[in-house]
Amino acid sequence: MNSLLIGLTAASILLSGAAIIYALSQRRARDDAEAALSDAEQAGEESAAALEAAQAAQGKLESERDRLSTSLSEAEDKAQRYRAAIDRLPLPIWVRDETLSLADFNSAHLAAVGMSAEDARTQQAELPEGSGRLKLKNLAARAHQEGAVQSLRVHAVTNGERRLFEISECPLPGGGQLGIARDLTELEERSAELKRHVDAHREVLENLDVAIAMTDPELRLVFANAAYMRLWDIDEGFLATQPMLTEVWDYLRERRRLPEQADFAEYRRQNLRNIQNLIEPKEELLHLPDGSTIRTTTTPHPLGGMLFTFEDVTDLLYLERTYNTLVAVQSETLDKLYEGVAVFGADGRLKLHNPPYREIWGFGPQALEGEPHVRQLIDGNQALLGVPDDRWEDYRTRLVAGASEAKEGRGRFDLTDGRAIEWTQVPLPDGASLFTYVDISDTIQVERALRERNEALETADRLKSEFIANISYELRTPLNAITGFAEILGNEYYGTLSDRQKEYADAIVKSSDQLMALINDILDLASIEAGYLQLEMESVDVAELMASTQMLAAERARSRQLALAIDCPKDIGCITCDERRLRQALFNLVSNALKYTPPGGQVTVCAWRENGTLHLTVRDTGIGIPEEDQARVFGRFERAGGRGQGHGAGLGLSLVKSLIELHGGHIELASHPGEGTEVSCVLPEQPPAALGDEEKDGDAAAASA
Per-residue pLDDT reduced to its tens digit, 531-568? 556 778 888 888 888 888 888 788 888 888 999 898 98
Closest CA to 344 of 421, 415, 423: 423
Residues 660-674 have a mean pLDDT of 87
pTM: 0.40
Backbone angles phi, psi at 538, to 5 degrees: -155, 165
**Mind listing the pLDDT tens digit for each residue in 74-108?**
877 887 787 777 778 888 888 888 888 888 888 87
Instruction: Return the higher-pLDDT residue of 461 and 410.
Output: 410
386-395: average pLDDT: 86
- Residue predicted with more confidence, 512 or 15: 512
Q: Could you tell me which residues come within 8 angstroms of residue 491 by beta carbon, excluding any fewer than 6 positions away?
A: none
Please tell me the distance from the alpha carbon of residue 110 to that of residue 125, in angstroms, as a whole number: 9
Please answer whether residues 609 and 572 qualify as being in contact, where contact means their C-beta atoms are separated by less than 8 angstroms. yes
pLDDT of 617: 92
Q: Could you tell me which residue, 484 or 42, shows the higher pLDDT?
A: 484
Top-confidence residue, 369 or 1: 369
pLDDT at 384 over 80: yes
Beta-bridge mates of residue 377: none
Q: How confident is the model at residue 181 (pLDDT cuts 50, 70, 90)?
A: confident
pLDDT at position 529 over 80: no
Quick: pLDDT tens for 300-310: 988 788 999 99
| pLDDT tens digits, 269-302 | 998 898 888 889 999 998 999 889 999 999 998 8
Determine what percent of the chain is predicted with pLDDT higher than 90. Answer: 7
At 430 the pLDDT is 84
Beta partners for residue 349, in sequence order: 373
Question: What are the percentages of helix, strand and coil residues in the chain, rounded to 5?
Answer: 55, 20, 25
Using left for φ > 0, alpha for ψ between -120 and 50, and beta otherwise, residue 651 falls in: alpha
CB-based contact 545:683 (threshold 8 Å): no
Mean pLDDT of 186-197: 85
pLDDT exceeds cutoff 60 at 372: yes
Distance in angstroms (rounded) separating the CA atoms of residues 73 and 560: 166
Per-residue confidence band for 38, with pLDDT thresholds at 50, 70 and 90: low
Considering only CA atoms, give the Rg of the chain.
63
> Phi, psi at residue 475, to the nearest 5°?
-75, -25
Task: Please state, rounded to an integer, the average pLDDT across all residues of the chain.
Answer: 79
Please tell me the predicted confidence (pLDDT) of residue 134: 77
Res. 49: pLDDT tops 70: no
Dihedral sign computed on CA atoms, order 243, 247, 248, 252 = negative
Confidence of residue 476 (pLDDT cuts 50, 70, 90): low
Residue 649 clears pLDDT 50, i.e. is over it: no
Cα end-to-end distance, the chain, whole Å? 127
Burial class (CB in 10 A: 0-12, 13-18, 19+), 248: buried
CA distance 436 to 431: 17
